[in-house]
Amino acid sequence: MKSEIQIDNNAGVCQIDIEGTIGVPEEWQFDRPEARVATYEKFRDAVRRIAEIDAPEVVVNIRSTGGDVNDALLIHDALTALGAHITTRCYGYTASAATIIAQAASPGCREISANALYLIHKAVCATEGNAAELGGKLDLLRQTDARIAAVYAARSGRPAAEFETLMAENNGNGRWLSPEEAVAAGLADVVTDAAGHPAPSLTRNIARGWERLLVRIGLSAGEQLPADRDRNVLHTEGEERELLRRSAAAVRQAQQRVVPTQTRPREDPSYGDLVRTANQRAYSEDAKRLRSI
């Protein structure tokens, strides 16, 4: 997938669209040199343009399954240094390094679409070398995991250990979270609908329906039906009281039953599935040359 960072700084609100894989290493893009979209020079120019934004409000639309942690941290720091009011909006599969950028929002402004899925996991790399070199890479991976967890913790106000535990699920591949689970975990602030408005939860919908019912019959929560109330054409006063009591009990039971959606481990691909070793990249190149002969 191509990587693109588009900046539209018009009408006082700067829109930044971050799509595709973040910071794709240039050597992964073998097809046509002119089609390469994530060279260091192009990425550096995008970060520079973000750092030079002069707008009171910035909206960052994120549609990405992740990419390079270092590049995501650079984008995160460039955004937080702007001093603007920043809103991050996550759509579709938002995963891995993309979730780091999402943490750059102003307090309470980390939005996630009601149709999105959210994934955090332990850092991944491909490497070769002797035991000492591999040991050094392990050290870097552990330090990277700690740094990522610290970014999540700083925004949520929760211990970094909570996020390290979540990242470590499924042998470090993490688990896809529903929007509600992402909010409950402290990774997002609000679930939004297609129009960008806060999406009401099932529990709130049930509660609102119950409140509307009470208003229609002229009662507030906890009040009893008046003794002189006209009889309903369908139910006696006793039947109405019993129906209202059961409705209230149903609302309480529904509130107790509502829990985060449980998803199967690895039911969707993580960014780590895209990593290839140097040998695999070389074999791919050889195969392309042979096909062109």
Q: Is the pLDDT of residue 204 over 70?
A: no
- Residue 60 has phi, psi (to 5 degrees) of -110, 110
Whose tokens are 């990249």? That residue is 281
CA 159 to chain centre: 19
Cβ neighbors of 60 (< 8 A, separation 6 or more) are 16, 18, 79, 86, 87, 88, 89, 101, 102, 104, 105
Confidence of residue 220 (pLDDT cuts 50, 70, 90): low
Summarize the confidence of residues 112-117 as an average pLDDT. 96
Comparison of pLDDT for 68 and 276, the residue scoring more: 68
Comparison of pLDDT for 253 and 193, the residue scoring more: 193
Task: DSSP letter for 211, please.
Answer: H
Burial class of 62 by CB neighbour count within 10 A (0 to 12, 13 to 18, 19+) = buried
Percent of the chain with pLDDT over 90: 37
Comparison of pLDDT for 194 and 95, the residue scoring more: 95
What is the predicted pLDDT for the residue at 9? 67
Confidence of residue 108 (pLDDT cuts 50, 70, 90): very high
d(CA 104, CA 61): 12
Structure-token pair, residue 166: 């979540």
What is the predicted pLDDT for the residue at 203? 47
What is the predicted pLDDT for the residue at 37? 47
CA 90 to chain centre: 5
d(CA 241, CA 226): 11
End-to-end CA distance of the chain: give it in Å, rounded. Answer: 27
Confidence of residue 116 (pLDDT cuts 50, 70, 90): very high
> CA–CA distance from 142 to each of 151, 164, 167, 175 (Å)?
15, 10, 12, 19
What is the predicted pLDDT for the residue at 87? 95
Confidence of residue 271 (pLDDT cuts 50, 70, 90): very low
What is the predicted pLDDT for the residue at 39? 44
Confidence of residue 54 (pLDDT cuts 50, 70, 90): confident
Contact 148, 167 (CB under 8 A): yes
Of 75, 177, 70, the C-alpha closest to 118 is: 177
pLDDT in tens, 124-139: 988 888 999 999 999 9
d(CA 195, CA 89): 12
Summarize the confidence of residues 207-212 as an average pLDDT. 56
What are the DSSP E strand ranges found in the chain? 4-10, 13-22, 57-67, 85-90, 93-95, 110-113, 117-119, 190-192
Cβ neighbors of 141 (< 8 A, separation 6 or more) are 122, 123, 125
What is the predicted pLDDT for the residue at 276? 61
- Residue 167 has phi, psi (to 5 degrees) of -65, -30
d(CA 114, CA 117): 9
Task: DSSP letter for 82, please.
Answer: S
- Mean pLDDT rounded to a whole number for the chain: 77
Q: Is the pLDDT of residue 146 over 60?
A: yes
Q: Is the pLDDT of residue 8 over 80?
A: no
Structure-token pair, residue 266: 């690895």
Most confident of 33-37, 87-91, 128-132, 205-209: 87-91
d(CA 228, CA 15): 60
Confidence of residue 236 (pLDDT cuts 50, 70, 90): low
Summarize the confidence of residues 9-21 as an average pLDDT. 79
> CA–CA distance from 80 to each of 14, 77, 125, 293 (Å)?
14, 5, 27, 51
What is the predicted pLDDT for the residue at 273? 47
pLDDT in tens, 74-102: 889 888 888 889 999 999 999 999 999 99
What is the predicted pLDDT for the residue at 197? 66
Specify the amino acid at residue 110. R
Confidence of residue 158 (pLDDT cuts 50, 70, 90): very high
